[in-house]
Amino acid sequence: MIVCHKDTAVVILSYNGTKWHELFLPKIVEEAHTGYEVIVVDNASTDDTLSYVQTNFPTIHTLQIAVNFGFANGYYEGLKQIKARYFVLLSADFEVTEGWFPPLHAAMERDEMLAACQPKIRYWKDKQCFEYAGAGGGFMDNFGYLFCRGRVFFDIEKDKGQYDDNIEVFWASGGCFMVRADLYEKVGGLDKDLYAHMEEVDVCWRLKNAGYKIGYIGKSLVYHVGGSVISYGSPAKLYYNFRNNLILLIKNEKTSKLLWLFPLRLILDGVAGLRLLLTGEYKQTGTILKAHFHFYRDLGKWLQRRRENKLLITKRNEEGIYRRSIVWDYFLLRRKKFSDLGWRAKSLE
């Protein structure tokens, strides 16, 4: 068990991540004086990740997972061995900036109902643009589809200071995710059976159902390389998009809404698969079918998780849910940016 002397543990899960640590660990360690300790959790790497970190960064704590069962499981196992007031889950392919941490910490200290938050996330390869996963804060529409400020489907904005605020969101990016350790443990932490992708949304939804807030802190800035766990546009990405989104709905959505939403989502997924089939994307169609098959195969497990999650529900906090269809607004009404939606997020101030 690693007991942190500072109240925050910045926990970096790494699999064969030496190239990222060479690039990004120096700045992370340099900024640690602002109030955190750094822990690298090696997820059964087959390269020299662990020895590299131990040799070159003696102030960093290290843990090792014996077998790699995925991103969510790596954090699930690693965080059980760390004692701190706050966790920051930081992916290995993130570059932090000077002063990135204090605004996040201050927001958490200021509001005890703020369970988790994220910084502004821009794209490392084009540093003026928002990054795909997280951007300016995460939201969900009325039909369970996820999107971000700064990135709606295929349109990614340049950062011109339009999202420098502190707001309440529905989900915070798991790539740089600050969370109260006691609440993280109370709601059960990351669901390791999700493997990767949307696992942070699942945690956020459970925290929201328990009445807490999730935040975006615009004065904190980090950069993300992206695609180092699951490549954008890959079959694995498509698979987890479809499978895990259904799991999220079954686990967390209220029953009255699920009764109409779940059948509708099955129809919409079928339409998406048919469109791919008609355009000759046979492998992608097969991937969607596989995602659904695996979801139904394990339905008993997801229903059991739903029963467990219902015990945590107090007063559902539904701030951050867009009460329209982001698919309809984007593709048919051509509303390409968050500002086009005519909807304002609630301030945390």
For the record, the structure tokens of 145 come out as 């589809």
Q: How many whole angstroms separate alpha carbon 150 and alpha carbon 135? A: 6
The residue ranges of DSSP E strands in the chain, in sequence order, are 2-3, 8-14, 36-43, 61-65, 82-83, 86-90, 94-96, 114-123, 126-130, 138-141, 146-148, 151-152, 155-156, 166-169, 176-180, 213-224, 321-322
| Residue type at 241 in one-letter notation | N
Q: How many whole angstroms separate alpha carbon 39 and alpha carbon 316? A: 33
Pairing, β 176-180 against β 321-322:
unpaired
Q: How confident is the model at residue 224 (pLDDT cuts 50, 70, 90)?
A: very high
- What DSSP state is assigned to residue 37? E
pLDDT computed for residue 229 by the predictor: 55
pLDDT at 228 over 70: no
CB 11 within 8 A of CB 82: yes
CB 36 within 8 A of CB 104: no
What average pLDDT does range 316-333 have in this prediction?
97
Q: Per mean pLDDT, which range of 102-116, 219-233, 317-331 is the poorest?
A: 219-233
Q: How many whole angstroms separate alpha carbon 119 and alpha carbon 215? A: 9
pLDDT computed for residue 89 by the predictor: 98
pLDDT at 166 over 70: yes
Q: How many whole angstroms separate alpha carbon 72 and alpha carbon 70? A: 6
Q: Per mean pLDDT, which range of 69-73, 135-139, 244-248 is the poorest?
A: 69-73
How far from the centroid of its chain's Cα atoms is residue 46's Cα?
A: 26
Pairing, β 176-180 against β 86-90:
antiparallel
H helices of 82-215, in order, are 101-110, 181-186, 199-209
What domains appear along the chain, each with residue ranges and CATH number?
A: 7-224 (3.90.550.10)
Max intra-chain CA distance, the chain: 58
pTM, full prediction: 0.96
